[in-house]
Amino acid sequence: MTAAMQREDRSVESLRGARRVAVIGAGGLGNPVAVALAEAGVALRLVDDDRVELSNLPRQVLFTTADLGRPKLEAARDALVQRFGAEVECVTGRLDATNRDALIGEVDLAIDATDDPAARFLVNDWGLAKGRPVVIGGVHRFLGMVFAHAGHGPCFRCLFEEEGPEVETCAAGGVLGPMAGWVGHLMAERALALLNGDRDTGYLTTLDGLRRRARKVRLPDGCDHAPVSSPRKPMAAIHIKIPASLRKFVANLDTVDVESEDVRGALDALEARHPGVKSKLCDDSGNVRRFINIYANSEDIRFLDNLETRLVDGAELQIVPAIAGGWY
């Protein structure tokens, strides 16, 4: 196995059970997106309100003729669980301005895989408001596009200020089946990169199936569309190194990636992903237990600002037991 393959395997393993992604739309784009993310071990929150039809089968690879008439959510969930042992949450509904936050939920990243141009703006705006990354995809006949932002601009509205009065959907204009797979897998690739800390966003990828060509178009820096109350930049990406004796509480991971501005927030984020683990590190008053040492970039936080120690993007937190035992 090459070094590059080993790095990729470690990146995928670090996501297993540690990240949750909302995929809005379980159709032609949502199918390949869900397959790629489930195979990487990402927990999924699928949002859709449609049923499987015969015309779906050529490009919606999770479904078979046995699924005709079934809700897409149920059929997709069953296939993902059977094939990958995936963790899948199903939410029935169609995204609009009144239910956006409720349907997307508390996730690390949201993906728009709908046939609804209005939903692209809703997902884009959710990411800006929450400071969370989003991936947006579209396919029409022989053409496709993928865009992503990391919780701040440039955003989708920097490309298109608002939805046009007459936007032809792929349902109306048609789509080549393999194009949906190409676009969907590129969307999943961008999502996995963002979940692993990649912040190289601010560009649009266009795909031309007839010419077999992909092109990257970079947007100017800056964005005027983020709400005033939302962060313009995401919180720092923090890598928490887990000792062997604690890994059984975090799905056997040796590293858990979270986002936070300080040590306290990083431990809270670790607890949110793996409930119960913080009690092994902190007492009932929230203070670090006596037999635990925590280092921020190799510096003991006791000699910094303890739990209030500020963290920069890419910082590493190392949890070290001061004595044998202590976890129960």
> Which residues are identified as catalytic?
170
Local structure of 160: helix, strand or coil:
coil
Local structure of 308: helix, strand or coil:
helix
Q: Copy the structure tokens of residue 76.
A: 């997709």
Q: Copy the structure tokens of residue 294.
A: 């925590």
C-alpha 247/C-alpha 83 separation (Å) is: 26
Is the separation of the CB atoms in 75 and 68 below 8 Å? no
Report the b/e string of 215-231 with b at 16+ CB within 10 A.
Answer: eeeebeeebeebeeeeb
C-alpha 70/C-alpha 66 separation (Å) is: 9
H or E segment at 214? strand 213-218
C-alpha 103/C-alpha 13 separation (Å) is: 27
C-alpha 232/C-alpha 130 separation (Å) is: 10
Tell me the torsion sign for CA atoms 50, 52, 53, 58: positive
- With tokens 């728009």, the residue in question is 112
H or E segment at 147? strand 143-149
Is the separation of the CB atoms in 109 and 87 below 8 Å? no
For 229-285, the DSSP string reads TS-SSPPEEEEEEPPGGGGGGTTT-SEEEEEESBHHHHHHHHHHHSTTSGGGTB-TT
Q: Classify strands 299-300 and 213-218 as parallel, antiparallel or unpaired.
A: unpaired
